[in-house]
Structure 1
Amino acid sequence: MRIGINGSSLVALGSPVQDVAEHAAQVEADGFTTYWVAQLAVPDALTALAVVGLRTSTIELGTAVIATWPRHPLMLAAQALTTQQIVANRLLLGIGLAHKPSIETTLKVPFERPARNMDEYLSVLLPALRDRRVGFTGEIWSGEVEAMGGPPGVEAPSVMLAAMGPRMLALAGSRTDGTILWLAGPTTIADYIRPALHAAADGAGRREPRIVASVPVCVTSEPGRVREAITQVLGRYRELPSYRQIMDREGAEGPADVSLVGDEDEVRAGLDRFAVAGTTDFSALEFVTNDDEVDRTRRLLKDVAAGSR
């Protein structure tokens, strides 16, 4: 299991892009294999990763994830290929449907036929990225381009889906390189996510899919206090149906229950459970509240990452 760092907390705080780039550069220097950012509000995730790419040289850079509703797939393909050029072919494009409340309340876009929406979205996006040409007419998304152009040497980025429901897992396994998860625990991955994803990939004749798992991580002497803080900051996820179902599968009341919080041995054991469950990539959201937790959490994650190479 590869170990990476989820830098989305910086994005959530609206940090300057330069701070995100500095954070990612240190992540690379510390020996981690991947760096992930979510598309929230500002900064834009792909633009931020383009800047990160100028400060790094080897680490894989992933969006986790970009909501598809507000961007035509041809426009997303153009932006992704541009970012891919800047980061020297290190981009992983993670996309997803997001959630009905945020799409309908914030964007004022009807959240209708989500699985069909994503299926058609991929029918435009994937050939645009891989072939630089598209000829598809759907009920929701369409595209017609003979040649998108672009500089030579730019490879199609890997595409992955945020997928937790059966239909999205089928799409993720059969048409993309895997799934990117948030707040899914190891039992859920082993018993539900991995079998569904692998069955879809096998049926489509695709290679073994990646499973990226991300939960809050904190090495601390005060686990109760940290779990209370996680509940305060992330408690809203309990009310979103897709996350509620995933946490119910895990037997978890809320995000604090699937987080890895405790001393070094406890957190290491939690990471081991994710690896045994079939997680290929772990994206640690370092949920730290003081300097001691910052140091201990990063030290433990570096040690595990070094052992996984």
Structure 2
Amino acid sequence: MRLGILRSNGVWEIESFVDDVAAAADAGFSSYWIPNLDVQVDSLMALAIAGPRVPGIELGAGIVPVWTQHPLALGQAALTAASVLDGRLSLGVGIVSKPAVEHTWGIPFERPITFMREYLEILHPVLANKPVHYTGQLLTARAPAILPVAPEPPLYLAALGTQMLRLAGSHSDGAILFLTGPKTVANHTTPLLSAAAKAAGRPAPRLMAGIPVLCTDDVEAGRKLAGKKYAAWASWPHYRAMFDLEGVNGAEDIALIGNEAAIRDGLRAYFAAGADDVLCYEFGETQTDLRRTRACLTELVKEAA
């Protein structure tokens, strides 16, 4: 049972972030991921600072939205971070959601599958430190190898729907999910991802399932908190489709909420469905909630060791 931490709240201060990465490494978590939100530190820069001070844990930047920087620029940043992280950097990219893209950045959310395919076709050779000469419908790239001394970080794609999962299998090293239930992982995600990788002649893809986790005795309060925290997500078409496939109303029905035994059972269901890793997005209203959740997950890591 390979468990990672998916940083759940904004990171405003680097030292406390480094401390949390160190605590996760000491506890035995296999990975620590930080998304590139528009209201916190840059994920690649933060990991490049933390990594040399915290050995022995995979460090994931993701999801990094693809709309705001050219793949050559993202590749340059990722390789720079990789050069100081001893082969422990992983990179996750995604199209995010139409409301976020158009509202936050004012960028038209047009032809996302084509845009992502071309982005990956440029980014993969860049990360492998190969020259790129590419002219697509939406993107162009012409560059020599950027940083030959840097190790190649694996590249993962945020994927929920059929087209994006097929793209993840054929053009990346695997997929990162969020708020996708175990039934959907077993019947939808895993078959599509694996078939696409096989058809493309690629190795078996890695599947990472990100899921909100709250260890508590007050399940009803936890469900209300999850419903409030992720209320908007139920209206976003790609997440609404995942909820419908799972047969649930919203995030409050997907998040793992309950006591230690309930959390253990919920996590095991994801591994049984085909996930290689579960990335735990700890949430709660108080520091007591967060401490209990981390303690519960730490104990499960120890049991699995």
| Fold shared, TM-score > 0.5 on shorter chain | yes
Preserved CA contact (<8 Å) 1:182 1:214 = yes
2:24 maps to 1:27: yes
2:78 aligns with one of 72, 77, 80: 80
- State the shift of 1:296 in Å: 3.0
2:192 aligns with one of 180, 185, 196: 196
Residue by residue over 1:126-180, the C-alpha shift from the partner in whole angstroms, topping out at 9 and shown as x without a partner, is: 1111133101111111111133244x2x211000000111111111001111110
Preserved CA contact (<8 Å) 1:10 1:20 = no
Of 43-52 and 292-301, deviating more is: 292-301
Q: Aligned in 2, Cα 1:164/1:37: closer, same or farther, shift over 3 Å?
A: same
Q: Aligned in 2, Cα 1:289/1:104: closer, same or farther, shift over 3 Å?
A: closer
What is the match of residue 146 of structure 2?
Answer: 148
Report the AA paired with residue 145 of structure 1: A
Residue by residue over 1:172-221, the C-alpha shift from the partner in whole angstroms, topping out at 9 and shown as x without a partner, is: 00111111011011001000000000000111121111111111111111
- State the shift of 1:110 in Å: 1.1
- Secondary structure of 1:92's aligned partner: strand
2:269 aligns with one of 270, 273, 278: 273
State how far apart, in whole Å, the 2-side matches of 1:211 and 1:89 are.
19
What is the match of residue 45 of structure 2?
Answer: 47
Normalized against structure 2, the TM-score is what?
0.96
- State the shift of 1:306 in Å: 2.4
State how far apart, in whole Å, the 2-side matches of 1:5 and 1:225 are.
23
Of 205-214 and 69-78, deviating more is: 205-214
Q: Aligned in 2, Cα 1:284/1:175: closer, same or farther, shift over 3 Å?
A: same
Normalized against structure 1, the TM-score is what?
0.95
- State the shift of 1:297 in Å: 1.9
2:209 aligns with one of 213, 218, 236: 213
Preserved CA contact (<8 Å) 1:22 1:55 = no
- Secondary structure of 1:212's aligned partner: strand
Preserved CA contact (<8 Å) 2:79 2:147 = no
Preserved CA contact (<8 Å) 1:6 1:284 = yes
What is the match of residue 37 of structure 1?
Answer: 34
State how far apart, in whole Å, the 1-side matches of 2:173 and 2:72 are.
19
What is the match of residue 2 of structure 1?
Answer: 2
Preserved CA contact (<8 Å) 2:207 2:276 = yes
Preserved CA contact (<8 Å) 1:132 1:149 = no
Preserved CA contact (<8 Å) 2:98 2:109 = yes
- Secondary structure of 1:3's aligned partner: strand
- State the shift of 1:112 in Å: 0.8
- Secondary structure of 2:9's aligned partner: helix
- State the shift of 1:291 in Å: 4.8
Preserved CA contact (<8 Å) 1:217 1:297 = yes
Q: Aligned in 2, Cα 1:142/1:28: closer, same or farther, shift over 3 Å?
A: same
State how far apart, in whole Å, the 2-side matches of 1:128 and 1:296 are.
42
2:154 maps to 1:158: yes
What is the match of residue 301 of structure 2?
Answer: 305
Unaligned runs of 5+ in 1: none
What is the match of residue 256 of structure 1?
Answer: 252
- Secondary structure of 2:142's aligned partner: strand
Q: Aligned in 2, Cα 1:106/1:289: closer, same or farther, shift over 3 Å?
A: closer
State how far apart, in whole Å, the 1-side matches of 2:299 and 2:274 are.
20
Residue by residue over 1:226-284, the C-alpha shift from the partner in whole angstroms, topping out at 9 and shown as x without a partner, is: 11112122211111111111111111211111011111111111111111001101011
Report the AA paired with residue 119 of structure 2: Y
Residue by residue over 1:33-63, the C-alpha shift from the partner in whole angstroms, topping out at 9 and shown as x without a partner, is: 1001111112111111112213311110112
State how far apart, in whole Å, the 1-side matches of 2:142 and 2:290 are.
49
Preserved CA contact (<8 Å) 1:8 1:36 = no
- State the shift of 1:300 in Å: 2.0
State how far apart, in whole Å, the 1-side matches of 2:105 and 2:295 are.
40
Report the AA paired with residue 111 of structure 1: F
Preserved CA contact (<8 Å) 1:187 1:277 = yes
State how far apart, in whole Å, the 2-side matches of 1:19 and 1:48 are.
11
What is the match of residue 130 of structure 1?
Answer: 128
Preserved CA contact (<8 Å) 2:129 2:147 = no
- Secondary structure of 1:208's aligned partner: coil
2:19 maps to 1:16: no
Report the AA paired with residue 238 of structure 1: A
Preserved CA contact (<8 Å) 2:158 2:176 = yes
Report the AA paired with residue 279 of structure 2: S
Report the AA paired with residue 28 of structure 1: A
